Chains A and B, each alone.
Chain A
Amino acid sequence: MSIGTKLKRRKFLIGATTTVAGLSLYLTQLDSLAQDNDTLFVPEASSFLTINPDGTATFRCAYCEMGQGVYTSLASMIAEELDLGLQAFDVIQADIGDEYKLAFNGTWRMTAGSSAIRWTGQFHRQFGATARAMLIEAAASQLGVPVAELSTNDGKVVHTESGREVSYGQLAEAARGIPVPENVPLKTENFKYIGKPITRLDTINKITGQTVYGIDVVVPDMVHAAVIHSPVFGAEPGEFDKSLAMAQRGVISVEILPGAVAVIADKWWQAKAGIDALDIPWTDHPNSSFSSEAFLDRASAKFDSVGVATIDEDSVDDVNEVLSSSPKQLERVFRVPFISHAQIEPGIAVARWNEEQLELWVENQGPDHFMKDLTPAVGVTAEQVKFHTPYVGGAFGRRLHADLAIEAALLARAVGRPVKVIWSREEDFKRDWFRPAQTSKLRAGLDEEGRILAWHGSAPGDGPGRWYFGFRDPSAPLDRSATEGLQAQGYQVPTKRVDYSHEESAVQCGFWRSVGGSMNAYFRECFADELAFEAGLDPVAFRRANYDARWNLVLDKLIEISGYREGKYEVAGSSKAMGLAIQRTFESIVGQVAEVSLENGAARVEKVWCVFDIGSPVINPNIARQQVEGAIVLGLSAALFEELTFENGVISAENFDLYQVARLADAPDIEIEFIETPAEQAGGVGEPGVPPIAPAIVNAVAKLTGNRIYELPLSRHDLVAN
């Protein structure tokens, strides 16, 4: 079976470690080495897979484990082809290094975009298969038998005829200088791991409190730092009396950081007490006039501007002309607020200097990307930095940013000892990289049969595309994070366009699980239900009339598993309705139906059915289901409850008392079905389950109340049955 990937085949060699009598399989650019087959000794730290004499294997994964199960999935793909038991694998995230850039022809490494398996899964299988072929050849040489007489069995090469076997770990010497075979065929049957609902490798430690997250890292001679940041972005600490903190037990020093103050102490709680003892004035800053509502109002004035850039989606004709000449037209404006990642482990980083070398223990979704901010802030280059990545206590996009690493590095340098920075929950809220607040307008023209003739989306705003990649440069290109998912997608529309224009946010914007999809699906699919009404069709008939074949398959399956029905109905004295939505995100087409009732002015989501067209075989159905369940819960939380506003530059909520999120009582029953038919592009799993839930819920609510809802979260509205 094939899994779509954008990866060019890499060439790699087997090398032997110099320190352990194990076998180190690594990846390196061949053209940077001597072209003969000299033995290559590679430091263990740069190896891709090290097989130890005791039969265990250390896999240095290019991606971090933040709950999405990538350690298990990718290890499984290697284990399957290599024929080494999955339980033998110990997975860590690889240090920074070009050899771990596995995506985009060896140039890119980022745990993002639900991309690890669809972009690099095939590579991991090929790596395992090629390594196995080389180990067989090494064994042939060591045992003095032909390759054809050898097979493998769970980490051993076996010569059945003589009953001899040799473990992979014992083949280091014999493996030297073996040329790398090309095009080693992959398994096509008898899969042990791929396609099976294997229990995750990290579960046993996570249920016994053994997993080491960033907050659990202990480094000898380490001290702790608590930090307080300015309430308003950009403000700096004024003059204050440091002795109030210094008088606290265990406090070592008070340090000034950009926009913040840190207290260093032996223990974190002592540092926190030191921070709490201080009375810090903050300088004035223009951002103190920032209001999130005013920001959205300003953006609203830009719906009709062409703006920074325009996306033309193979558009036929001018969208305004077709719109104005359409028999029916509709336009609607939607709004969503800033929301927080609010991952349960707050921000942490540990830094240790050794002369000019910096060692970091920090959760990160890509060490290379950290360098773009580490270098100017701290003055280090990639060669000077060693990254250890602990298990990540939730990310959803938050751990793409180097801010904590920078603080830890600066403090460790100032203090002359290793420093562990832990942000309190309040600081984590204040200094999140928020999913931006967004207001967008959708316009569409319909013919008399309810087919969409023209589609126009306008998304004025700000977003992580510019904040993260654009370095706040006004000449940076359009922010696709604002427009992705606002397109016509499955609706077959001949004339269409999506416009972006920039409206500056004073608060930093980040990538929040599914990014543009997290807001644009709500805009798109609630708009679609209104288009259906305008066309005189029910939501299903409208979609059927406009979808292509693949989307109709998703729709059909969704109706089949949910028993989708229109209108309100009674079940055991409770009034319910179903809403549906289908959205493509990161190449997966995901449809959801939500069954909703109303209770005390709020929506109660009782059950969700999900059809997930991933366009390729599912590698681990257990993990894939976990991801879709979790995505639905997170998206539901945002739809029902989550919002942050800014007034006078100050955030409205700094903890879970004021920032409401979904709890177990809010979680619906969930049914999921995957469609694994291979498509041109394989889809991702981690994020695409998020976008459809908000519009599915809101479309249901509209049937219960008789009112459409144009602004989230639903908790802003008093929902009353009509």
Chain B
Amino acid sequence: MFRLNINGREQRVDVDPDTPLLWAIREEAGLNGTKFGCGIAQCGACTVLIDGVAVRSCSFPTEAAEGAQITTVEGLGTADALHAVQQAWLEIDVPQCGYCQSGQIMAAAALLIENPTPTDQDISDAMTNICRCGTYPRIKAAIRRAAELV
């Protein structure tokens, strides 16, 4: 049994210690916004924030997340209270199929926490999440826009 702080709420999850945090978030806490894409931390669809830092939760053991502040996309912002990154994403209409977008948004949020005025190179270096629909040009534009909104 582990106590996880997800989006400001304490949850008890009954999983084995090495169960990836992704599956504790999805199958125990019932938060489906964080996605499964590859299981080996290559695609980034599973990106969450742990104490404000981007983490690929498919390759992070639940045990190691105890005591930390976990933020998922649901905790970043809602339709009534969008985070600046989400606001920029909406303005530029970034998502197509949308499946990778939770991870993209969380990675972008983490980037802006660490570096509020990223250059294009900073964006390219930080944003390694995969998008097969090819929304990269709009992600770049949305991060630049979000930096203005933050």
How distant is the Cα of A664 from the Cα of B96 in the complex, in angstroms? Answer: 15
Chain B residue numbers with a CB within 8 Å of A344 are 35, 37, 43, 45, 97, 99-100, 130-132
Residue A269 contacts which of B19, B34, B74, B136 (CB distance < 8 angstroms)? B19
Whether the pair B33, A210 counts as a contact (CB closer than 8 A) is yes
Q: Is B67 an interface residue (CB 8 A)?
A: no
B123 touches A664 (CB 8 A): yes
Interface status of B113 (Cβ within 8 A of chain A): no
Interface residues on chain B, number (Cβ under 8 Å): 57
* Contact indicator A204/B90 (Cβ below 8 Å): yes
A207 touches B82 (CB 8 A): yes
Quick one: which of A207, A393, A394 contacts B94, CB cutoff 8 A? Answer: A207
Contact status of A211 and B137, CB under 8 A, knowing A203-B90, A394-B132, A661-B132: no
Residues A209 and B34 in contact, CB atoms below 8 Å apart: yes
Alpha-carbon distance A211/B97, docked complex (angstroms): 10
Interface residues on A, range: 35 or more
Q: Could you tell me if B38 and A208 are in contact, using CB atoms closer than 8 angstroms?
A: no
> CA–CA, A267 to B33, complex, Å?
17
Within 8 A of A (CB), among B104-124: 105, 123-124
Residues of A within 8 A of B74 (CB): 208-210
Is the pair A342, B94 in contact by a Cβ cutoff of 8 Å?
A: no
A421: min CB distance to chain B, Å: 13
Q: Which of B42, B95, B127 is close to A203, meaning CB atoms less than 8 Å apart?
A: B95
Instruction: Return the contact of B132 from the options A200, A210, A342, A627 (Cβ within 8 A).
Output: A342
**Cβ of B39 < 8 Å from any Cβ of A?**
yes
- CB of B140 within 8 A of chain A? yes
Who on chain A is nearest to B42 by CB?
Answer: A656
Q: Is A280 interfacial (CB-CB < 8 Å)?
A: no
Taking CB atoms, residues of chain A closer than 8 Å to B82 are 207-208
- As a 0/1 sequence over residues 62 to 100 of chain A, the CB contacts with chain B under 8 angstroms (1 = contact) are 000011110000000000000000000000000000000
Contact A215 B36 (CB under 8 A): yes
A residues less than 8 Å from B34 (CB atoms): 209
Cα–Cα, bound, A664→B78 (Å): 26
The interface bits of chain A over 232-267 (1 if a CB of B lies within 8 angstroms of the residue's CB, else 0) are: 000000000000000001000000000000000001
Please measure, in the bound complex, the distance between the C-alpha atom of A341 and the C-alpha atom of B99, giving whole angstroms.
Answer: 14
A393:B35 contact, CB within 8 angstroms: yes
| 8 Å CB interface, A372-416 against B | 391-396
Q: Which of A69, A204, A268 has the most CB of B within 10 A?
A: A204
When A206-B101, A208-B74 are in contact, do A67 and B133 touch as well, CB less than 8 Å?
Answer: yes
Q: Which listed residue, A69, A199, A268, A669, touches B27 by the CB 8 Å rule?
A: A268
Contact B97 A634 (CB under 8 A): no
Interchain CA distance A208-B75 in the complex, whole Å:
9
B140 touches A667 (CB 8 A): yes
Q: Is the CB of A206 within 8 A of B140?
A: no
Q: When the two chains form their complex, are residues A656 and B43 in contact, meaning their CB atoms are under 8 A apart? A: yes
* Distance in angstroms between the alpha carbons of A443 and B91 in the assembled complex: 49
- List B residues 17-56 near A (Cβ within 8 Å): 19-20, 23, 27, 31-40, 42-43, 45
Q: How distant is B123 from chain A, measured CB to nearest CB, in Å?
A: 7
Is the beta-carbon distance between A267 and B27 smaller than 8 angstroms?
Answer: yes
Selected from B23, B31, B128, B133, the residue in CB contact (under 8 A) with A663 is B128
**Cβ of A632 under 8 Å from chain B:** yes
* A211 in contact with B133 given A269-B23, A269-B27, A656-B42 (CB within 8 Å): no
- Chain B residues with CB below 8 A from A664, complex form: 123-124, 127-129, 131, 136, 139-140
A-B contact pairs, 7 of them (CB 8 A): A67-B98, A212-B32, A216-B32, A344-B130, A393-B98, A655-B38, A655-B39
Q: 10 extra interchain contacts, Cβ-Cβ under 8 A, other than A344-B130, A425-B38, A667-B134?
A: A66-B97, A199-B93, A209-B74, A344-B43, A345-B35, A394-B99, A656-B42, A657-B40, A661-B132, A664-B128
Among all A-B residue pairs, the 7 with the closest Cβ atoms: A209-B33, A633-B134, A393-B99, A67-B97, A206-B98, A630-B134, A67-B96
Residues of A within 8 A of B (CB): 66-69, 199-200, 202-213, 215-216, 249, 267-269, 341-346, 391-396, 422, 424-425, 622, 626-627, 629-634, 637, 655-657, 661-667, 669-670
